[in-house]
């Protein structure tokens, strides 16, 4: 026993194929009825019926559209201008201040692409609506119903209508941006282009200045950090000097070393005199005893000065001059490093300012917004010619189908 199973997709496709067949049969029935209702051709009336069908199918629509173009349609005027984005820098290798937003695009065209996208953005459309009441202008009942914006249009509809009535071109070889905008009056079209140009220039300046300010602000923050470190290093040295009652341990060390050297020289001289005196004086003589006492005092003084200089125990702590000198040298190194960092930060800030000034962008007007003298849209002759061709094609196809069905019936 065999079972014939079909995939679910084929089972679902049956109603669709049946609907298509029924639709085709209805269309075929319409043409068959049209061919059946057409009376037999007579020599005197065949040409009249042909011209009558041509007039009804082609002539009447053309007449209605022509009347609309002649008496009802609202003409649209076009104003155009050309812009270019330039920076202050003269070097062609200088990177664009806005270029990181569009990676992979040439530096000369990055800013121009941003301007083109901004003009077509919702922000620009909203700005024009606030400035020129553009939405109310598009919805005005002074213009024909087929040309104006619907009175209940949403923000998305307004944006779509706005984009349909502007044309923006960008020449990548020259970087020139061409803007064309449509309006129902030539003066309003020029005013619209002027407003868009001014807002685009503000946009370029704002973005350029924002990036430049961020770069300079970062370097300025580093300068402030270096300045605070320099002040802290100076304060540490002042605290060290006040705490230890010494201006420079290094200079004090040099002085004590000189004192020790002088005492040791005097001690050596006294020892030599004592040795000579013992050769002819009694060891218990007052002169020998005096010299011995003086030598002992010098030795104690030398020991005391050495202890002051290097110390002999940990009890002296930071009071030892060698420790003070080492600590002071570290403080001086920190001060020197902070001073160098502060000087480098100052130089970096000046360099950043110069680079930021060189990378500032400006939107230059190549050609001023034009004032149209005649309407450019709608293109009446072109549209009527296209409509006539389309209607003739449709009329010819219908006639051929009707004739073919009538021949098959015969």
CB 185 within 8 A of CB 77: yes
Instruction: Give a yes or no: residue 38 inside a domain.
Output: no
Instruction: Give a yes or no: residue 226 inside a domain.
Output: no
Long-range pairs for 273-280 at CB < 8 Å and ≥24 separation?
none
**180 lies in the same domain as 216:** yes
**326 lies in the same domain as 342:** yes
**Is residue 408 classed as helix, strand or coil in its secondary structure?**
helix
**217 lies in the same domain as 366:** yes
Domain region containing 102: 77-221+358-380
Instruction: Enumerate residues 6+ apart whose C-beta is below 8 A from 303.
Output: none
**199 lies in the same domain as 110:** yes
* Of 97, 119, 123, residue with least CA distance to 170: 119
Distances (CA, A) of 299 to 127, 138, 270, 290, 303: 94, 109, 11, 14, 6
**91 lies in the same domain as 203:** yes
Instruction: Give a yes or no: residue 400 inside a domain.
Output: no
**375 lies in the same domain as 346:** no
Give the count of domains, the chain.
2
Distance CA 273, CA 292 (A): 10
**273 lies in the same domain as 332:** yes
**147 lies in the same domain as 167:** yes
- Supply 121's token pair: 């953005």
User: Helices (H), strands (E): how many in the chain?
Assistant: 12, 4
The pLDDT assigned to 131 comes to 95
**177 lies in the same domain as 289:** no
**193 lies in the same domain as 85:** yes
The pLDDT assigned to 139 comes to 94
**270 lies in the same domain as 122:** no
CB 402 within 8 A of CB 57: no
Which of 354, 372, 391 is the last residue before a domain boundary? 354
**239 lies in the same domain as 133:** no
Instruction: Give a yes or no: residue 296 inside a domain.
Output: yes
Whole-model pTM above 0.75? no
Could you list the mean pLDDT of each consecutive 10-residue stretch along the chain, which spans 410 residues? Answer: 37 42 50 47 54 81 85 91 79 43 53 92 95 94 90 94 94 92 95 95 86 81 90 89 77 76 86 82 82 86 74 48 78 90 89 75 90 89 90 87 75
CATH of the domain at 83: 3.30.1890
């Amino acid at each position: 026993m065999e079972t014939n199973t079909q995939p679910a997709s084929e089972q679902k496709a049956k109603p669709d194929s049946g609907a298509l067949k029924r639709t085709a049969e209805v269309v075929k029935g319409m043409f068959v009825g049209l061919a059946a209702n057409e009376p037999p051709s007579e020599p005197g009336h065949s040409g009249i019926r042909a011209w009558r069908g041509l007039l009804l199918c082609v002539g009447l629509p053309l007449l209605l559209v022509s009347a609309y173009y002649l008496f009802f349609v609202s003409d649209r005027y076009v104003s155009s201008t050309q812009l270019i984005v330039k920076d202050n820098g003269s070097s062609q290798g200088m990177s664009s201040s806005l270029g990181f937003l569009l990676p992979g695009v040439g530096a000369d065209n990055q800013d121009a692409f941003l301007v083109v996208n901004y003009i077509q953005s919702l922000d620009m459309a909203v700005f024009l609506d606030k400035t020129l009441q553009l939405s109310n202008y598009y919805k005005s009942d002074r213009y024909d119903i087929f040309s104006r914006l619907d009175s209940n249009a949403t923000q998305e509809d307004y944006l779509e209508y706005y984009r349909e009535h502007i044309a923006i071109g960008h020449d990548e070889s020259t970087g020139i941006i061409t803007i064309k905008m449509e309006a129902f009056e030539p003066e309003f079209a020029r005013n619209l282009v002027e407003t868009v140009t001014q807002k685009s220039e503000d946009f370029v300046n704002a973005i350029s200045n924002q990036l430049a300010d961020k770069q300079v602000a970062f370097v300025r923050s580093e300068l402030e950090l270096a300045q605070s470190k320099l002040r802290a290093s100076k304060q540490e040295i002042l605290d060290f000097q006040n705490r230890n009652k010494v201006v420079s341990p290094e200079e004090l060390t040099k002085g004590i070393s000189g004192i020790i050297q002088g005492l040791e020289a005097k001690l050596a001289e006294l020892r030599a005199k004592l040795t000579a005196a013992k050769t002819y004086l009694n060891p218990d003589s007052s002169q020998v005893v005096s010299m011995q006492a003086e030598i002992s005092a010098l030795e104690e003084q030398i020991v005391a000065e050495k202890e002051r200089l290097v110390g002999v125990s940990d009890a002296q702590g930071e009071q030892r001059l060698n420790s003070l000198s080492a600590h002071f040298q570290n403080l001086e190194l920190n001060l020197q490093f902070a001073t160098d960092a502060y000087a480098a930060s100052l130089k970096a800030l000046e360099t950043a300012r110069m680079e930021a000034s060189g990378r500032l962008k400006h939107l230059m007007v190549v050609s001023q917004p034009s004032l149209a003298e005649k309407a450019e849209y709608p293109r009446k002759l072109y549209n009527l010619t296209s409509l006539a061709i389309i209607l003739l094609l449709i009329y010819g196809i219908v006639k051929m189908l009707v004739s073919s069905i009538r021949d098959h019936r015969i």
